[in-house]
Amino acid sequence: MNNTFKLIFRTAGLLLAAAVLAFLLRAYQDRRRTQKQASQREQAVELSNQAVEVSQKGDPPRAVGLLKQALLLAPGDSILLANLTTIYGNMMVLEYQKGDFRKVLELGAAARRDSVFSATIYYLNAQAFCLDNRNDSAVSLLATASRKLPDNRDIAGRLAELRNEALTEQDFQQDRSGNFEIRFEGTENSEISGEVLMLLEEIRDRVGSELGHRIRGNTSVILYSDQQFRDITHLASWAGAAFDGRIRIPVANYQNDRQMLKNVLTHEFTHAAIYDLTGGRCPAWLNEGLAMLLEGINPKEQIYIPLKDLQKPFTGLESDQALLAYKASLSAAYYLTSQYDWAFVRLLFSKMQQGSDFGPAFKEAYGISLDEFEKRWKESVGK
C-alpha cells in the first residue's frame, strides 16, 4: 500500500464515520421532531376542544382566539380551519341579524384572512359592502364566490342584481356638492339634481344639529325614474324612497311638489345620519319615528304596537301593516321626544356611537329601561 492509497483509505474511513454519525444524528432529530409535532398536535387538539366548548357557552371571540392559537401549533390543519370558518360564519350571521354592518365587515375581513372559503361569509361580507356604499367590492367578492360555487343561487342572484344595478347606472351623469355626490339620468334631470343637492346641504345642517352629528365623508344619492327605483330596490309599491347605504329617490314622483321632495329627502337623510351614528343598530321604530318627526309630521293618532315587533325594517310588510307600523313608530318617537328633551336623543346616539348597544345606551341616556319606557308610552296611548 503506498502512502497515497493509505491516505485515501483513511480519509474514506473518516468520511464513512462522519456519514454514519450524520445519519444517527438525523434519526435522533427526526424522532425529536416527531415527538415535538405529536405533542404540538395534542396541544392543538386540546385548544380546539376548548374552543368548541367556549363557543357553545356563547363566547365565540374567545373560541376564535383559541383556534388561531391552535393553528400556530398545527398550521393548515383542515379540522381547525373548518371550525374557525364555522365560528366566524355564525358570528357574522348574528351581527348581520342585529344590523351591525360594520361588525360584519370587520369579521368578514378577518374570516377571509384566517379561515377557508365559505359561501355564508362571502355573501354576508358582500351585503355589508353594499351597505357601506362599496358595491364594486361586493361584486368582486360575489364573483369569486360564484366561481367557486357556480350552483349557489343566492350568490348568483345577488351578483346578477348588483351587475344589473351597475348597468342601469353606467350612463348616469354625476355631480357633487360639498358633502354629497349625486347620480341621475339624462340632462333633463340636471336641474332637479342641482336642487336636490342644495336642499340636502340645508337638510344636513338641520338634521345634523338635531342629532348632534355630521356624517363623515360623502353621502351618495341616486335619482331614478319610478320604474328604475322599483327594479333596483324591489321595494313594495308603498315605498316612496330608500336608504340602504345610498339615498335612492324616484325623483320624477316629486317633480311637481317641492315640499314633498324636501320632506322625502329629510326623511332619508335622517336614516343616513342615524346609520352613520349607529352602524345599523338603531331599531326601526326609533329610526322611522325620528325620520318622520324631522320631516315635520306630527302624529294625528296615538297607536301602540309592542316595540319588539317594530325592531326590523318595515320593508317586507304589506301596505296596511306597514302603515300601522309607521304610525306606531311615530307615536313612540313623539312620546319619547315630547316627554324628554331632544338632548337625550343626542345622548343616546352618542352612547351608541361609542359602541353601546341600543338597550344599554337607552338606559344610560334616559335613566329608565326600555321596558319602563314602553310601559309609560303604552299607558299614554291608552288614555
Measured from the CB of residue 233, what is the shortest distance to Zn ion in angstroms? 12
User: What's the longest Cα–Cα distance across the chain?
Assistant: 123
Q: Give 153's contacts (C-beta < 8 A, 6+ positions apart).
A: none
Asked if 215 and 350 count as a contact pair (C-beta separation under 8 A), the reply is no
Closer CB to Zn ion, residue 51 or residue 274?
274
Measured from the CB of residue 288, what is the shortest distance to Zn ion in angstroms? 5
Which residue bears the cell 336614516? 271
> H or E segment at 181?
strand 180-184
Closer CB to Zn ion, residue 85 or residue 287?
287
Closer CB to Zn ion, residue 142 or residue 207?
207
Q: Give 255's contacts (C-beta < 8 A, 6+ positions apart).
A: 192, 261
Measured from the CB of residue 252, what is the shortest distance to Zn ion in angstroms? 20
Number of residues that bind Zn ion (CB under 5 A): 2
Measured from the CB of residue 119, what is the shortest distance to Zn ion in angstroms? 31
Going through 117-258 in order, the beta strands assigned E by DSSP cover: 173-176, 180-184, 219-224, 242-243, 247-250
Radius of gyration of the chain (CA): 30
Q: Using CA atoms, how far apart are residues 207 and 200, in angstroms rounded to an integer? A: 10
Closer CB to Zn ion, residue 85 or residue 331?
331
DSSP annotation of 310 reads G
Measured from the CB of residue 291, what is the shortest distance to Zn ion in angstroms? 5
Closer CB to Zn ion, residue 88 or residue 334?
334
Nearest to 47 by CA among 27, 33, 68: 68
Angle at which helices 3-56 and 60-73 cross, to 10°: 170
Measured from the CB of residue 315, what is the shortest distance to Zn ion in angstroms? 9
Other Cβ atoms less than 10 A from the Cβ of 1: the count is 7
Closer CB to Zn ion, residue 276 or residue 288?
288
Bridge partners, 174 (sequence order)? 183
Closer CB to Zn ion, residue 105 or residue 130?
130
The sign of the CA dihedral 113, 119, 124, 127 is positive
Q: Which x/- pattern, by CB under 5 A, does the window 258-297 give for Zn ion?
A: ------------------------------x--x------
Measured from the CB of residue 287, what is the shortest distance to Zn ion in angstroms? 7
Measured from the CB of residue 267, what is the shortest distance to Zn ion in angstroms? 5
Closer CB to Zn ion, residue 115 or residue 263?
263
Asked if 169 and 222 count as a contact pair (C-beta separation under 8 A), the reply is yes
Binding residues (CB under 5 A) for Zn ion: these are 288, 291
